[in-house]
Amino acid sequence: MTGRLYPVLAALWATVIFVASSQPGGVVGLPSPWDKLAHLLTYAVLAWLLRKSGLPFFWAATLAIFYGASDEWHQSFVPGRFCDAADLLADSIGAVVGAFSANMADY
């Protein structure tokens, strides 16, 4: 895949995250602990795409983590949703794992 496609895919994935986070609480929701796994995988994909876009490991992980933080804040305005530190922790772990795995794919 060409390197120019990864930034587009990262932006599309971020849009999917935003749209999913905009759904009222009754529409989406997995029981614990599956919700944390979903957060981890979602942000692992985002960081992986950012890393494949050419961002260094640190910036790919950091950008994904900040997007996760903004997403948690955004959810505090959505009916039936709330900002959750445990979700942000899962997002952050996923971001680091995703950025790291993209690094490993280069070897």
User: Which residue range(s) make up the domain with 39?
Assistant: 5-18+32-104
Q: Is residue 42 scored above 90 in pLDDT?
A: yes
Lowest mean pLDDT across 14-23, 28-37, 53-62: 28-37
Assigned domain for 24 exists: no
How many distinct structural domains can be found in the chain? Answer: 1
DSSP collapsed to 3 states, the chain:
CCCCHHHHHHHHHHHHHHHHHCCCCCCCCCCCCHHHHHHHHHHHHHHHHHHHCCCCHHHHHHHHHHHHHHHHHHHCCCCCCCCCHHHHHHHHHHHHHHHHHHHHCCC
Confidence of residue 2 (pLDDT cuts 50, 70, 90): low
Assigned domain for 27 exists: no
Assigned domain for 56 exists: yes
Assigned domain for 72 exists: yes
Assigned domain for 41 exists: yes
Assigned domain for 25 exists: no
Confidence of residue 28 (pLDDT cuts 50, 70, 90): low
Assigned domain for 23 exists: no
Q: Once rounded to an integer, what is the mean pLDDT over residues 4-17?
A: 96
